[in-house]
C-alpha cells in the first residue's frame, strides 16, 4: 500500500483515530492505520481521507489487516462495500 502523506489533515485524522500514539507513527504503517479507520472513522473522517486512499488501498488493508483491530460488524461492512461477497473470515491471532 502506498504511504499516506503526513500533513495537517491526515495528522488530525490520526490523532482522532489512533489517539494513543503520535500521528506520524500511526500514519507510518498505512495497513494498520486503515484497519483502525475501518473500525473507528466517522463519515467526515472518511471524506477527508479519500483523496489519499483508493478502493484498492482499502482492499489491500483488508487483505493484510492485523487481527484484533476491526470488529466483526465493520469487517462485514467493509468487505461488502469493497465487493467481497461472501465475506472472507476475519484475521485471527496465531500463537506459538
In whole angstroms, what is the distance from residue 92 CA to residue 15 CA? Answer: 27
Task: Locate the domains of the chain by residue range.
Answer: 8-81
Q: Per-residue pLDDT averaged across 67-76, rounded? A: 97
pLDDT score of 94? 86
User: pLDDT tens across 27-59, in order?
Assistant: 999 999 999 999 999 999 999 999 999 999 999
Contact of 56 with 21, CB cutoff 8 Å: no
Single pTM value for the model: 0.94
Amino acid at each position: 500500500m502506498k504511504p499516506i502523506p503526513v500533513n495537517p489533515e491526515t495528522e488530525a485524522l490520526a490523532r482522532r483515530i489512533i489517539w494513543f500514539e503520535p500521528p506520524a507513527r500511526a500514519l507510518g504503517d498505512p495497513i494498520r492505520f486503515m484497519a483502525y479507520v475501518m473500525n473507528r472513522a466517522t463519515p467526515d473522517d472518511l471524506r477527508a481521507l479519500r483523496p489519499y486512499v483508493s478502493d484498492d488501498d482499502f482492499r489491500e488493508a483488508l487483505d493484510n489487516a492485523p487481527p484484533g483491530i476491526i470488529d466483526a460488524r465493520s469487517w462485514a461492512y467493509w468487505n461488502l462495500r469493497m465487493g467481497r461477497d461472501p465475506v472472507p473470515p476475519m484475521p485471527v491471532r496465531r500463537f506459538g
